[in-house]
């Protein structure tokens, strides 16, 4: 119904309720549905999400049009958003009953750009957890964001299409999807490298090789060049104590004085497991519905920045896969082990 020449005003609450109802309907047919749901009013909170949006808004081609999607993504109108190598596909609820399908393609990062970025990372990048957490030196941030030469795509590298009847080259549904990508990167920054078809291992291996060489070149106080655990922790960004075998106290030792202390979640979770990697693999494998980062944080006591590289390693080994974005599922049948 319309009032005069103007459509009836629809409140934010009504729009969100309509979107939530549609999400429930769609999930009955597609349980892998992954809507974009913001916590609060901010479109993005992490360095990766904010930088994605900042890059898009910095281009004159998008500056005046991308803003059309802000209210849509805030109102939960992006009912589903899937990221695969070089492509984003989404369902966006418009004013009509059926949602519109949006498809956005991204060209693979230019080889020369990638080579230059890898060189920069040799001297500036410290670890995988820091990279994914957005703890990136300012000089490297500037390199990543250079228009046409950095990590982030230019308008010339992006093509898009929407099933809606809007004649504009960038409709509200496409704009909402682009902002939705920024929100998704808040959840899983590694998806950025999936989308850009760039191997994050290349960045880390370059940095690790450079850092390892510098550590080994330093004079050793011992008879042999053995890298201490504190150096390894700095090198890989992982807590080496958490990755080492757990030692149980021997009988007869004076442990009574310590029994009054409250054990940490990490200590309890590690009992019986040779490493944090094995622990995470076991927890993911035991969950039939899959585990999110928050689930694993609660079970292990590990912060997200330690869990991301562990899960990344397990995915590379083929032991873990994404059941949905941000939800991990084991590929190994524990019942057969």
Q: Where are the domains of the chain?
A: 10-201, 238-244+263-337
For the residues 236-247, what does the mean pLDDT come to? 41
For the residues 47-74, what does the mean pLDDT come to? 88
pTM over 0.85? The answer is no
Q: Which CATH architecture has domain 238-244+263-337?
A: Orthogonal Bundle (1.10)
Task: State the pairing for strand pair 100-106/87-92.
Answer: antiparallel
**With 90 as the cut, is the pLDDT of residue 178 above it?**
yes
**With 90 as the cut, is the pLDDT of residue 301 above it?**
no
Pair 36, 180: CB distance under 8 Å: yes
* pLDDT value at residue 275: 64
% of the chain exceeding 70 in pLDDT: 72
2-12 per-residue burial string, b: 16 or more CB within 10 A, e: under 16: eeeeeeeeeee
Give the residue among 50, 272, 79, 313 at the shortest CA–CA distance from 173. 79
Q: Compare 97 and 26 and report the one with higher pLDDT.
A: 26
Q: Compute the residue count for the chain.
A: 337
Pair 240, 233: CB distance under 8 Å: yes
Pair 246, 270: CB distance under 8 Å: yes
Pair 102, 161: CB distance under 8 Å: yes
Pair 281, 291: CB distance under 8 Å: no
CA distances from 278 to 189, 202, 244, 304, 330 (A): 23, 24, 11, 17, 12
**With 80 as the cut, is the pLDDT of residue 104 above it?**
yes
């Amino acid at each position: 119904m319309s009032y005069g020449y103007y459509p009836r005003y629809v409140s934010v609450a009504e729009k969100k309720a309509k979107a939530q109802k549609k999400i429930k309907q769609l999930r009955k047919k597609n349980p892998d549905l992954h809507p974009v749901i913001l916590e609060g009013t901010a479109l993005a909170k992490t360095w990766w999400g904010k930088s994605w949006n900042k890059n898009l808004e910095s281009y004159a081609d998008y500056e005046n049009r991308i803003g059309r999607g802000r209210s849509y993504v805030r109102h939960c109108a992006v009912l589903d958003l899937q990221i695969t190598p070089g492509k984003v596909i989404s369902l966006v609820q418009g004013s009509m009953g059926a949602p519109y399908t949006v498809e956005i393609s991204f060209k693979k990062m230019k080889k020369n750009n990638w080579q230059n970025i890898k060189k920069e990372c040799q001297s500036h990048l410290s670890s995988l957890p820091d990279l994914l957490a957005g703890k990136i030196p300012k000089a490297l941030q500037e390199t990543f964001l250079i228009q046409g030469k950095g990590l982030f795509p230019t308008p010339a590298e992006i093509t898009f299409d929407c099933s809606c009847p809007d004649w504009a080259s960038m409709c509200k549904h496409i704009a909402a999807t682009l902002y939705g990508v920024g929100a998704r990167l808040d959840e899983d920054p590694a998806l950025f490298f999936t989308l850009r078809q760039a191997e994050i291992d290349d960045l880390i291996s370059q940095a690790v090789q450079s850092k390892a060489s510098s550590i080994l070149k330093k004079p050793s106080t011992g008879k042999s060049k053995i890298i201490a655990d504190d150096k390894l922790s700095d090198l890989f960004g992982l807590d080496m104590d958490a990755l080492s075998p757990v030692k149980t106290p021997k009988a007869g030792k004076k442990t009574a004085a310590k029994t009054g202390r409250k054990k940490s979640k990490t200590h309890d979770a590690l009992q019986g497991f040779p490493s944090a990697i094995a622990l995470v693999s076991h927890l993911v494998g035991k969950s039939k519905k899959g585990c999110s980062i928050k689930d694993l944080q609660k079970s292990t006591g590990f912060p997200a920045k330690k869990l991301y590289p562990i899960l990344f390693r397990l995915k590379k080994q083929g032991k873990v896969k994404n059941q949905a974005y941000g939800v991990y599922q084991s590929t190994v049948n524990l019942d057969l082990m």
